Amino acid sequence: MNDGAITVTDLTKRFGDFTAVDAISFEVARGEIFGFLGANGAGKTTAMRMLCGLSKPTSGRATVAGFDIARQAEQVKRRIGYMSQRFSLYGDLTVRENLRLFGGIYGMKPARIAEKSGRMLSELGLGAERDTLVKSLPLGWKQRLAFSVAIFHEPAVVFLDEPTGGVDPVTRRGFWELIYAAAGRGITVFATTHYMDEAEYCDRVSMMVDGRIEALDTPAALRAAHRAATMDDVFQQLARRAKRVSGC
């Protein structure tokens, strides 16, 4: 057992000769908002998939919510929420049916699902849309709903894979209010993102380049260390070191 929400030690994933994730190590504390940054093909999605139990590590070890990801994948899966970069609710089910399905998947009792979804929907301002098919909601609302579904069962850690793709900064800001609220309740947030304004919202940020973590600190400390005005400059400086061709 371990105090940190996520501990990663020399985690490595190889596909044949290609080392997608090269012996990365880091820790994320409980209730922390951790930004996991990197260019396309840097290996961040592969690393995240391993932490979620979607993919087995080649070597190294990691624990999530105190359980080993390789040997106790079931236990890990029970204690995490996951929001994929593609919108991941069922468009042809209503808001409430989606909540019932995902609540049921995590073993929540129907009464508890009903009580909790009523509260959650009114907090989101979606109370009137409970019987609307999800596909007819605007993208910003869908993403807020998807996040709320990912933390519906009160997981210890929630993994967000580029959660706010395709929406404007104002909507993104609104999304991050939800993330802060979740972190305030003790849920650890682990998010990948492309948007550098989002990186500023994180407690700590790691930068992945060619399968390795090149930098890890608070956004302010990273800016200071690289003498950069914005996180975007920091990212540019680090990403320039990449030797791999991006885009895979």
Partner 1 sequence: MKQFAAFVKKEFRHILRDRRTLLILLGMPVAQILLFGFAITTEVRNARVAVWDPAPDVETRRVVERIDASPYFTVAERLGSPGDIDDVFRRGRAGLVVVFGPGPADEPDGGTGGAAIQLIADGTDPNQAVMLTNYATGIIASGAAAPPVEVRMLYNPQGRSAFNFVPGVMGLILMLICAMMTAIAIVREKETGTMEVLLASPVRPVYIILAKAVPYFVLSVANLATILLLAVFVLGVPVAGNLVWLVAVSLLFIFTALALGLLISTLVGNQMAAMLASGMGLMMPTMLLSGLIFPIESMPPPLQWLSCAVPARWYIEAVRRVMIQGVEVRFVLREIAILGGMALVFVAASLRNFKTRLS
Q: Which two tokens stand for residue 152?
A: 């519906």
Q: Is the dihedral of CA 61, 184, 91, 168 positive or negative?
A: negative
- Binders of partner 1 among 23-82, rule CB under 8 A? 52-56, 74, 77-78, 80, 82
**Residue 100 in contact with partner 1, rule: CB under 8 A:** yes
- Binders of partner 1 among 169-228, rule CB under 8 A? none
Alpha-carbon distance of 161 to 49, in angstroms, equals 9
Q: Which of 7, 12, 85, 237 binds partner 1 (CB under 8 A)?
A: 85
Nearer Cβ to partner 1 (33/134): 134
Nearer Cβ to partner 1 (73/178): 73
Angle at 147 between CA 145 and CA 151, to 5 degrees: 115
**Residue 87 in contact with partner 1, rule: CB under 8 A:** yes
Alpha-carbon distance of 140 to 169, in angstroms, equals 11
**Residue 16 in contact with partner 1, rule: CB under 8 A:** no
Nearer Cβ to partner 1 (113/183): 113
Helix 95-105 and helix 110-124: axis angle, to 10°? 130
- Binders of partner 1 among 119-158, rule CB under 8 A? 133
- Shortest CA distance to 80 belongs to which of 96, 93, 69? 69
- Binders of partner 1 among 102-121, rule CB under 8 A? 102, 104-107
**Residue 91 in contact with partner 1, rule: CB under 8 A:** yes
Alpha-carbon distance of 134 to 20, in angstroms, equals 35
Q: How far is the CB of 53 from partner 1 (least distance, A)?
A: 7
Which range binds partner 1 by CB under 8 A, 26-34, 89-97, 117-125, 221-229? 89-97
Q: How far is the CB of 91 from partner 1 (least distance, A)?
A: 8
Give the torsion through C-alpha atoms of 84, 7, 184, 132, to 10 deg.
Answer: 20
Nearer Cβ to partner 1 (89/179): 89
Residue 124 to residues 37, 41, 94, 143, 147, Cα–Cα distance (Å) = 28, 34, 15, 11, 11
Residues in contact with partner 1 by CB under 8 A are 52-56, 74, 77-78, 80, 82-93, 97, 100-102, 104-107, 133, 159
